[in-house]
Amino acid sequence: MSPPTLHPVPYWRLSAFYFAYFAQVGAAAPYFSLYLASLGLAAAQIGVLLSLGQLMRVVGPNFWGWVSDSSGQRMRIISVTLACGAVCFTGFFFVTSFWGLFALLLALGFFTSASMPLTESLTLSHLHGAISRYGSIRLWGSVGFIVTVTLVGYALDALPIANLLWMVLATYTLSWICALVVPDAPGGGRAAPEPVWAILRRPEVAALLAACFLMTLAHGPQYAFFSIYLVDHGYSKAAVGWMWTYGVVAEIIVFLLMPALMRLYSLTGILLVCFAATVVRFLMIGWGVSSAPVLFAAQLLHGLSFGAYHAAAVTLIHRWFQGAHQVRGQAIYLSVSFGAGGMLGSMLSGLGWDSIGPAWTFSAAALAALAGFVLLQWKVRPARI
């Protein structure tokens, strides 16, 4: 059998889609909580609203994965759901009540939950097994995030926060356009002899998924309230944008280094370092918010707490869920981690923000990451994987 070749990989079209999709994330994720706060909503209400996208990631990826397996048209599903998501987003121009926002975010989350599991599966299929090159494509998503998180931060220092809606809608449109030019790839092929439920019952698989749940749970305060935390301590919106940017620059560097790191270290060993770094990162943010150098150092750890962690986790899932299980595996990973973990993390951080305070909320997040570290160390041995 001839070795896998990267020649047919639509590198720039995939990269452009990652760029556009995460440009939308960069425009919305750091600042949408500020928009919700400008509407007079309480922290607990903001936490609930921001958890709805994660809630849809619990059920949505599995539904869209089933649709993908039935139709075999991953990119068409992505483009259609992005168009529907853009239509849903226009509702924010007219709705400001809690329950109206609740309904809109629920619908938006359902449609946007299709994009990542299908895109990750599609990208890995295009790579023909050379999955160590995944980071060189995925890093363009980080670049897109940096561009918008920086530009939007400066824009919102000069413009009313309501202008954020136009900026996010523009990135939704760009994502849809880029999705139209990405070619599909053949599916994973025949299913592996082992059924999917048998894979999920394997101790190392269950442990990884539980640890990924805890990792995203730990990021709840970061994604929901980090920007609010900085603004409350006197940082400008441009400075908020730069703090997010520093983290994603570190993420890009790590993505570039991942092929070498995967050759030198086991994937589980990489994950253990990532979980340990996450514990340190959230303790630094929680108790060092008044120090810009401490925050800068903490944001650099994002390269480990998300970049290396996500690349290693996706690679393990791809190895364990073979053949026609590949889309299902990525959907399960995203549902358990970014879905269930993200939903609970946003809700609990919203409750903790007003009751125990920001510093202790970030400390609780560090404890969740520590629990994930212990679980990986216990059930997934670095020497084996």
pLDDT in tens, 81-97: 999 999 999 999 999 99
For the cut 70, the answer to whether the pLDDT of residue 127 exceeds it is yes
Distance spanning both ends of the chain, measured CA to CA? 25
Rounded to an integer, what distance in angstroms lies between the CA atom of residue 343 and that of residue 338? 8
Mean pLDDT of 57-64: 83
Rounded to an integer, what distance in angstroms lies between the CA atom of residue 305 and that of residue 303? 6
Mean pLDDT of 193-201: 77
Task: Please give the pLDDT value at position 3.
Answer: 44
The mean-pLDDT minimum among 51-65, 207-221, 338-352 falls in 51-65
Q: How many CB atoms lie within 10 A of CB 317?
A: 26
pTM, entire model: 0.78
Integer-rounded Cα Rg, in Å, for the chain is: 20
pLDDT in tens, 340-357: 898 899 889 989 998 999
- Asked whether the beta carbons of 291 and 301 are under 8 A apart, the reply is no
Mean pLDDT of 282-307: 95
Q: How many CB atoms lie within 10 A of CB 186?
A: 8
Mean pLDDT of 139-145: 90
Confidence band for 194, pLDDT divided at 50, 70 and 90: low
For the cut 90, the answer to whether the pLDDT of residue 173 exceeds it is yes
* pLDDT > 70 in the chain, percent: 92
Confidence band for 6, pLDDT divided at 50, 70 and 90: very low
Rounded to an integer, what distance in angstroms lies between the CA atom of residue 177 and that of residue 198? 39
- What is the CATH superfamily name and number for domain 11-379? MFS general substrate transporter like domains (1.20.1250.20)
- Asked whether the beta carbons of 329 and 317 are under 8 A apart, the reply is yes
Confidence band for 29, pLDDT divided at 50, 70 and 90: confident
Task: Please give the pLDDT value at position 331.
Answer: 82
Confidence band for 65, pLDDT divided at 50, 70 and 90: confident
3-class SS at 8? coil
Nearest one of 240, 215, 216 to 227, comparing CA atoms = 240
3-class SS at 39? coil
Computed over every residue of the chain, the mean pLDDT equals 88
Between these two residues, 299 and 2, which has the higher pLDDT value?
A: 299
Q: Where are the domains of the chain?
A: 11-379
Handedness of CA 114, 8, 249, 256 (dihedral sign): positive
The mean-pLDDT minimum among 20-29, 257-266, 297-306, 313-322 falls in 313-322
For the cut 80, the answer to whether the pLDDT of residue 189 exceeds it is no
Nearest one of 318, 210, 308 to 265, comparing CA atoms = 308
